[in-house]
Amino acid sequence: MTAQTDDIPTPTGEAAPPGQAATKAALRRFHPEVVRAQILAVLDAWGMPEDLAAVSADVMVDTDLAGIDSHGISMLPSYQGLVDEGRMDIAARPLVVHETATTALLDAQDGLGHPTTAEAMALAVAKARTAGMGAVAVHRSHHFGAAGYYARIAADAGMVGLVTTTTRARAVVPTRGSTPLLGTNPIAFAAPTTDPERPFLLDMSTSSVAVNKVKVYDFLDKPLPAGWVLDGQGLPVTDPHAAHARLRAQEEGGLTPLGGTEALSSHKGYGLGVMVQILAGALSGALFAPEKGRPGPDDIGHFCLAIDPAAFGGAETFRPAVSEIVDTLHVHPSTSPDRPVLVAGDPERLARAERSEHGIPISDALLDLLAGICTAAGADFLLEGA
């Protein structure tokens, strides 16, 4: 169950959920390895070192396989803008600037967030191996894709993982507010079960929906549900084009905190968003979204926490205990036979199985953008006729 971050004004396709009609956008399917090769070709042409590019491509392809179309290969047009404007150093390597036995602070040095955050969580896991817990913060970073990828690094190591991140855009209106102030500030949480392929994996924004979701609705000319976006007077905006334009302007109105309205407890999503800002922003020294209206790198902050169940004496019992919780939820009677009770991570797992077999869907509009990026960068366009 995933909702994600950041204001990335690039069109992408969105696969229709099972049982629903396909969207208006024309979609073509591509083998995951072809998509990965295309991402690598672009990153290489931009000058990203091979090892950093490999991690970045792995994250983006995994994100597309999970059905999170807004944060995989569709991010390349946005990253191109950051590289062209000199706001992101595509060749930067993260640097440890402060460290204790259980904590560390990484300086991403204005690089892409994927390899930095993968290193941050790997370091957190290593510290948890020896100390029971490890927490690593990151500053001076850029967009890192889907937060759940990094939380799962911990789960794959048999640990509990928690990841939070600030975002580039001011997009979310505080409860009772009239202008956007917070980012979508996502949280991801993962825990292993007895089945390595089925961890509990929660990945959610602290807003009712992500900016990229509104972007997709804008591209598909699909009306928004009331309560996703508000105008400056607190009234719902359902026209997708007007809503996306409002979010890009970052002046009046914006996304609602999780909950949608004050009557439906939007103050809880608002509070979670501030919590993420403190963990990933204030703790790491990254900029607060309202401070980002100036030229230069985004200075996004991330926070990675790994907890080893063995530190609580639960090395042998923890996975079965999590599995029992998940299994009990799965067999709980549903309101409709064709709509079973799901657990966080189920939709992504199902999407991964389907897309691994049938390919990753990419819209014709996004293919045109990618072809232009390849031309500008001098990279081979591998998706043409693939």
Q: Are 236 and 261 in contact (CB under 8 A)?
A: no
Q: Is 317 exposed, middle or buried (0-12, 13-18, 19+ CB in 10 A)?
A: exposed
* Residues of the domain holding 249: 93-344
Q: Are 136 and 124 in contact (CB under 8 A)?
A: yes
Q: Structural domain tally of the chain? A: 1
Residue 63 lies in a domain: no
Q: Check whether 171 has a pLDDT greater than 70.
A: yes
More confident residue, 12 or 311: 311
Q: What is the pTM of this model?
A: 0.91
Separation CA 106–CA 116 (nearest Å): 8
Residue 219 lies in a domain: yes
Residue 251 lies in a domain: yes
Q: Check whether 175 has a pLDDT greater than 70.
A: yes
Please write the tens of the pLDDT for every residue from 112-161.
999 999 999 999 999 999 999 999 999 999 999 999 999 999 999 999 99
Q: Check whether 1 has a pLDDT greater than 70.
A: no
Residue 7 lies in a domain: no
Sign of the four-CA dihedral 49, 54, 56, 61: positive
Q: Is 196 exposed, middle or buried (0-12, 13-18, 19+ CB in 10 A)?
A: exposed
**Mean pLDDT, rounded, for 355-384:** 95
Which residue from 350, 352, 349, 332 is spatially nearest to 340, judged by alpha carbons? 332
Residue 245 lies in a domain: yes
Share of residues in the chain with pLDDT > 90 (%): 82
Please write the tens of the pLDDT for every residue from 45-75.
999 999 999 999 999 999 999 999 889 999 9
Which range scores top for mean pLDDT: 246-250, 272-276, 381-385?
272-276
Under the banding of pLDDT at 50, 70 and 90, the label for residue 7 is very low
Under the banding of pLDDT at 50, 70 and 90, the label for residue 215 is confident
Nearby residues of 83 by Cβ (< 8 Å), 6 or more positions away: 46, 90
Separation CA 193–CA 111 (nearest Å): 34
Residue 61 lies in a domain: no
Residue 15 lies in a domain: no
Residue 84 lies in a domain: no
CATH of the domain at 207: 3.30.1370.60
